[in-house]
Amino acid sequence: MNSIAKELNEVLQGTAAAGLLSGMGKEMFFPKGIVAQSAEAGQKAKKYNATVGMATSRGVPLHLDSIQQEFPGIESGAIFPYAPTAGDPKLRSIWKDEMVRKNPGLQGKDFSLPVVTAGLTHGVAIVADLFLDAGDTIIVPDMFWGNYRLIFEVRRGAKIRTFPFFSESGALNLEGLEETISSTPGEKVMLIVNFPNNPTGYSPTDTEARALADLLTKTAEAGKKVLVMTDDAYFGLFYEEGTCTESLFSYLADAHENLLAIKGDAATKEELVWGFRVGFLTFAAKGMTGVQYEALVKKTMGAIRSSVSNCSRPAQTLLLKGMSSGTYAAEKEAAFATLLGRYRAVKRVLAVYADNQLLKPLPFNSGYFMAFVCQGDAEALRLHLLDTYAIGTISIGDSYLRIAYSSVDIEDIEDLFRTLYKAAEEAWN
């Protein structure tokens, strides 16, 4: 094992993170190589800096004017150079401030400075690398984003274990989760929660969120090492009173010494910049010190360095400018109002079809999506909608059809859902 990795492991000794690291996680480190030496030279090499593999002219990045002109008002140094491995320090800082503003429960709690990733998917993959070995079990609800299989099972050789997301009454199935946790062997409990959920569009109520946090805390109190990653891809899009508007990360950040909470989020949906591929990872565990958080960040930087090297500089620059704008808050409110209007339009049209047994909506209150339980074959309906009506939807297994109403204009919502019910009758009768 590399000596730097050993040093980081020693710093983390006794923390929840140390007991949860995978074999790769224990081996991971950020090398004192080109990147580290270049950063040091950036502070001291005032005469010549011959470290970074980047072309410059009089200290300015050599660049093509045809590209520079597409970024009016932004200097070349904020576009073309490599970004720091952990991300632009100003962006990391402002994102942390926004996290606390959006999650008041984090006020006064200790957690790491967010690390920039190449989108939330990359963040999930980094967590898998650092904490999952082949054969390990990770718990997810049965309604989950399909990419988890590629990340956890195909890339890492771990096993996904599911529990029914909803109880028979349509509430978050905490009893099912508790049974799954208690029957999962080993001293580690690892799970990922995604609220608002993809594909259902459901977020827990305030009561459910606190009960979920209590369940996970009690698991840690019983002596298990617990890892909880919150996939907050659609965070902030909460449409109903009583829905928990904070990330579960807020409740778990200082829950117990045996519990490591990891917040995975991104500018992707929150800031409406899907193609920017800028995400963030933030770590929290009761009792962890700033030095220990930095050690875990260094391991995360090693995972970034060994995969994508660093994340997009222009995307980070543009995001930072947008978040620093005086119109930022108003623009976010306008975007939220647009999605809220579409959500309410969906609710209105579904009420008209409340007695229809062919398509039964699962509970939803947030995010981009809603999903139907299908009386007939979901894939057959998907193909019929596509071939006959030129309408695209997503089938999930044989029983579920996901509708991304986020991508349908409000004036088209009624026609879309009327056609869905009509097509179901045609496909299955």
Q: What is the pLDDT of residue 60?
A: 85
Domain annotation for the chain: domains and CATH numbers: 3-30+85-323 (3.40.640.10), 328-428 (3.90.1150.10)
Q: Are 202 and 235 within 8 A, CB to CB? A: no
Confidence of residue 59 (pLDDT cuts 50, 70, 90): confident
| pLDDT higher than threshold 70 for residue 135 | yes
More confident position, 408 or 1 = 408
Mean pLDDT of the chain: 95
Interval 235-251 mean pLDDT: 97
Residues whose CB is less than 8 angstroms from the CB of residue 305 and which lie 6 or more positions away in sequence, other chains included: 30, 31, 35, 85
Q: How many residues does the chain have?
A: 429
Q: Which helix or strand (DSSP H or E) is residue 395 part of?
A: strand 394-396
Which residues on neighbouring strands pair with residue 265, listed in sequence order? 280
State the distance between the two ends of the chain, measured CA to CA, in whole angstroms: 64
Q: Which helix or strand (DSSP H or E) is residue 417 part of?
A: helix 413-428
Q: What is the pLDDT of residue 36?
A: 66
Q: Are 304 and 86 within 8 A, CB to CB? A: yes
The pTM of this model reads 0.95
Q: What is the pLDDT of residue 32?
A: 83
More confident position, 214 or 45 = 214
pLDDT in tens, 290-318: 999 999 999 999 999 999 999 999 999 99
Confidence of residue 410 (pLDDT cuts 50, 70, 90): very high
Alpha-carbon gap, residue 94 to 278, rounded angstroms: 14
Alpha-carbon gap, residue 190 to 173, rounded angstroms: 17
